[in-house]
Amino acid sequence: MELTVLGYYGGYPDHGVGTSAYLVRSGDYQLLMDCGSGALLALEKYGDPLALDAVLLTHYHHDHAADLGVLQYYYQLHPGTKKMSPLPVYGHTKDPLNFAALTFGSFTQGVGYTADSTLTLGPLRLTFLETAHPVPAFAVRIEELATGQVLVNTSDTRAFAGLAPFAADCDLLMADTNFLAEHQPPMWHLTSTQAGTLAAAAGAGRLLLTHLPQTVDLAQLQAEAQVAAGAIPVRLATAGLRLSVAQ
Ligand SMILES: [Zn+2]
Ligand SMILES: [Zn+2]
């Protein structure tokens, strides 16, 4: 299983880099995980939008879903050349208006999930954990069935006790790391120290800091996370970064 970072900022795109969007590949299977601002341009650059098997949205904040509308137009305007028609778009059902918008004509089809869902998408098995965020949002645990490799994405969340067991023993942990250690509440994302602490508590193989802020020193963010993570390797998301989930 392989992860490609298409966009990694929280909130808004900055200097040519978009917000949350990731491509998960397992063999020929391709899952777009979140579809933030700039996702379609990055997907054209680092992949092929028409080669997607499915899209998964962790929640409906714009920095995770802004490009879904233009992806839907892209599918409308490329008749006959795509792998999936309609393209399934998985989203939670706690927000009926946003969930309804996942379906667009015969081009994309919304498919609901809940905290209790276990989805088998091609070679992948997905489970979910509702996070602590101002709107319903879900962390996702993706297991590649053939290899047992596990990728966990916290999505957007503040720190809470359920995250570590959900991420237990994953090979690669993607953590919403939007704040330096010194950040004071209220907060709806992890700090650098909390991301590192989570990786250590979960026994993660590696930690990828993502959903990054635009205005802080990222070297400091990484260093703070590394102190908390101990021996677990920590790195920052970068545009186009392609990582094998295998350790
Ligand atoms: Zn976000
Ligand atoms: Zn959010």
| Residue 48: CB atoms within 10 Å | 12
What residues have a C-beta under 5 A from ligand 2, the ion?
A: 61, 156
Helix residue ranges per DSSP H, the chain: 39-46, 62-65, 68-76, 96-100, 163-166, 192-202, 218-229
Query: Distance, CA 20 to ligand 1 centroid (Å)?
Result: 7
Say which ligand is closest to the CA of 178.
Answer: 1
Say which ligand is closest to the CA of 137.
Answer: 2
pLDDT for position 186: 85
**Contacting residues for 105 by C-beta, under 8 A, at least 6 apart:** 76
Query: Distance, CA 175 to ligand 1 centroid (Å)?
Result: 11
The pLDDT of residue 203 is above 90: yes
pLDDT for position 11: 98
Region 199-203: mean pLDDT is 98
Domain range for 59 is 2-244
Say which ligand is closest to the CA of 135.
Answer: 2
- pTM, two decimal places: 0.98
Query: Distance, CA 202 to ligand 2 centroid (Å)?
Result: 22
CATH value at residue 94: 3.60.15.10
pLDDT for position 96: 97
DSSP tag of 246: -
Query: Distance, CA 63 to ligand 2 centroid (Å)?
Result: 7
* φ, ψ dihedrals at 25, nearest 5°: -115, 140
Single out the residue of 149, 132, 148, 151 nearest to residue 140, CA to CA: 151
Mean pLDDT of the chain: 97
Write out pLDDT tens, residues 154-171.
Answer: 999 999 999 999 999 999
Write out pLDDT tens, residues 114-132.
Answer: 999 999 999 999 999 999 9
Write out pLDDT tens, residues 74-101.
Answer: 999 998 889 999 999 999 999 999 999 9
The pLDDT of residue 247 is above 90: no
Region 232-246: mean pLDDT is 98
**Contacting residues for 225 by C-beta, under 8 A, at least 6 apart:** 177, 192, 193, 195, 196, 199, 207, 209, 234
pLDDT for position 140: 98
Report the domain count for the chain.
1
Single out the residue of 52, 62, 45 nearest to residue 5, CA to CA: 45
